[in-house]
Amino acid sequence: MEVFFREWERRVPGETRDIARARALADVLGVLEPGVPVLTVVGSKGKGTAATYASAFLAAAGLRVCTVTSPALRTNRDRIRMDGRAVSDAELASLADALDAGIAALPPPARGYLSPSGLFMLAGVLHARRRGADAIVLEAGMGGRSDEAALFPPDVAAITPIFLEHAGVLGDTPAEIAEEKLGVAGPDTLVLSAPQSAEVAGVLGPVERVDEGGGGVPGDLLPAGLGRVSAELGVAAARRLPGVDEPSPRALWDTLASVVLPGRSSQHDVPGSATRVLVDAAIDRTGVAAALAAARRAWGTIDHVVLCLPDHKDLAGAAAELGDLPVTFVRLPLRHLGFTRALPPGWDVVGAEAVTPEALATLGHRVLVLGTGYFTGLVLDAVNADTERLFTSAASPRRS
């Protein structure tokens, strides 16, 4: 996997991702023109849910669908999927070899680097071509216009709720961030959006809005809580992709009923103990409140909370929602993330090495785990969560 992270790990302060060089690499790999319809998901929260439900709908319609998401759930294989299943070790190694050869054909980098998420996206589009995918679903990374997803102007773009995330990087206001996200769309892209604040909606303009119930899917096939609007958006966007036929009611029901969303209010047993964790990638006050509500609906009481929020996330909002609950705060040894803010008195503080089944089991029988996607991935790995397949297609692919 060294090729995916090589330039990112060697970057110097002030360097940013080099989209022009990524475009040159895509050209070398022969994937600048994917050759099949592309659906791209952007936004601040809920992108993975929207991408998963869009992919499941397309699979139910009989299409072979390649999905690229970020970050990984447990392993880097999770970032690239065909019909919901993660690529194999051998497939990912072959894609890495192709990227390595392609990078060797480029001039040495002058300023900037090839980002890991961008390289996995290029690898995913290459995998789609190799496997004869009928459609591609891309989850953009942090940005829109400045993301490698913009190299592949989508037929349909789905915009999940946008808020003040990555302030100072993508923009200083939700409006500026929305403008950056919208930049992923090309001139012929159909844009669908979840309900947005008035400020964001004003920037997006006359896009097609998907309100509650707009996905046309029975509510019992959708996730509860904040993820529902993103799931409906994903289904609505998939329906509008060129060449997509409406799946049979049976195929749609069976496929969407099979969807699992690890790390999105998902519950898991901790190996070797009586402890159960509910893991959710909540990063702001609204998300934490929703995760607390989900845990209390499931369990009644919460014994302990494990939280990991770097400086650019909503620590104050999370602390306000958690109140007097016992909290263990995890600091990660990642130089691109800061963990410098003062914490509420009484919170325990540990390092990443404490994310083990044994440590989790000491915290009680019902443990709520909250934080970034990277951190929740560490916990999913520690409890050996099944992330191999996100859904099972109930329809036969158009091509074998």
pLDDT in tens, 282-334: 999 999 999 999 999 999 999 999 999 999 889 999 999 999 999 999 999 87
C-alpha separations of 356 from 214, 273, 295, 306 in Å: 41, 12, 21, 12
336-371 pLDDT, tens digit per residue, is: 788 999 999 999 999 999 999 999 999 999 999 999
Q: Kindly indicate the confidence band of residue 262, based on its pLDDT and cuts at 50, 70 and 90.
A: very high
Q: Cβ neighbours of residue 373 under 8 Å, at least 6 residues apart? A: 48, 71, 263, 281
Residue 116, both tokens: 């890991």
C-alpha separations of 368 from 61, 125, 320 in Å: 36, 36, 16
Backbone angle region of 265, left / alpha / beta, with phi > 0 → left and psi within -120 to 50 → alpha: left
Q: Are 220 and 253 in contact (CB under 8 A)?
A: no
d(CA 240, CA 180): 23
Stretch 168-197: mean pLDDT:
89
d(CA 151, CA 34): 10
DSSP class of 171: B
Q: Does the predicted model carry a pTM greater than 0.85?
A: yes
DSSP class of 66: E
Helix (H/G/I), strand (E/B), else coil: 42: strand
Residue the block writes with tokens 């404490």: 354
Helix (H/G/I), strand (E/B), else coil: 175: helix
Q: Assess whether pLDDT exceeds 60 at residue 400.
A: no
Stretch 181-193: mean pLDDT:
95
Instruction: State the Cα angle at 43 between 68 and 17, rounded to 5°.
Output: 65
Q: Kindly indicate the confidence band of residue 45, based on its pLDDT and cuts at 50, 70 and 90.
A: confident
